[in-house]
Amino acid sequence: MGATEHISKAFEADLDTTRTRVLQMGGLVEAQILAAINAYATGSAELIAQVIENDARVNGYEVAIDGACNHIVVKRQPAASDLRLIMAISKIVTDLERMGDEAEKIARMAKGIHEHGAHHAQRFPAVRHAAQIAVKMLRQSLDAFARLDAASAAEVLKEDSAIDDEFRSVLRQLITYMMEDPRTITPALEIVWVAKAVERIGDHAKNVAEQVIYIVKGTDVRHTSFADVERELSKE
């Protein structure tokens, strides 16, 4: 992590490869979420099939990266920033994999929603707006991971409440929608699931950002208020 390299070139290479694979996995998950949201908006059968099929690749990354972490631990007994990196990666890939699952869930819901008519999905732009925030959070966490930038990771934590607000607003709208016409209940419930999946993606992106702060600062900021995180980061 520091400017100096490990004496062992093989160790350096193992860490580099693992870091790169996390970023590749993150890129794939981001593409999956975008495709799923697109599928939700358009009902494209092709996109739906593609997201469902690609989830296996996401799972494959998780297993492979976790395996690589185990190998590094057993071969190198990493300490300090190396240890934090490996432990954090092992958690990050779990979050990425779950985001992949949420994307798949959205794709499956999209199919059901569009079977009831394309207009249902289009009525709730807040879902897509929340998804945009979630994707932005994921992108920024991955970027912070690549650059080991704790300040940028901390900004991601702040974004999460915006998604939660959107989610509540979607819920309110959907309740009204369902009350107006009970025939909309089935598609509306499916839209709730989509909104919930988006909200979960935001939570996972936040977890990734927290792990980046742990790697860089060595401080575990999970279950910590944003004010406390900021105070911790201002310490040198």
Question: What residues line the site for another protein (CB under 8 A)?
Answer: 2, 4-8, 11, 76-84, 218-219
Closer Cβ to another protein, 19 or 128, answer by number? 19
Closer Cβ to another protein, 5 or 46, answer by number? 5
Closer Cβ to another protein, 115 or 220, answer by number? 220
**What is the rounded distance in angstroms from the CA atom of residue 88 to the CA atom of residue 202?**
18
| Least distance to another protein, CB of residue 148, Å | 14
Closer Cβ to another protein, 79 or 227, answer by number? 79
Closer Cβ to another protein, 7 or 227, answer by number? 7
| Least distance to another protein, CB of residue 4, Å | 5
Closer Cβ to another protein, 11 or 193, answer by number? 11
**What is the rounded distance in angstroms from the CA atom of residue 206 to the CA atom of residue 226?**
12
| Least distance to another protein, CB of residue 11, Å | 7
| Least distance to another protein, CB of residue 17, Å | 17
**What is the rounded distance in angstroms from the CA atom of residue 3 to the CA atom of residue 41?**
46
| Least distance to another protein, CB of residue 86, Å | 11
| Least distance to another protein, CB of residue 156, Å | 22
Closer Cβ to another protein, 77 or 181, answer by number? 77
Burial bucket for residue 16 (CB in 10 Å: 0-12, 13-18, 19+): exposed
| Least distance to another protein, CB of residue 205, Å | 25
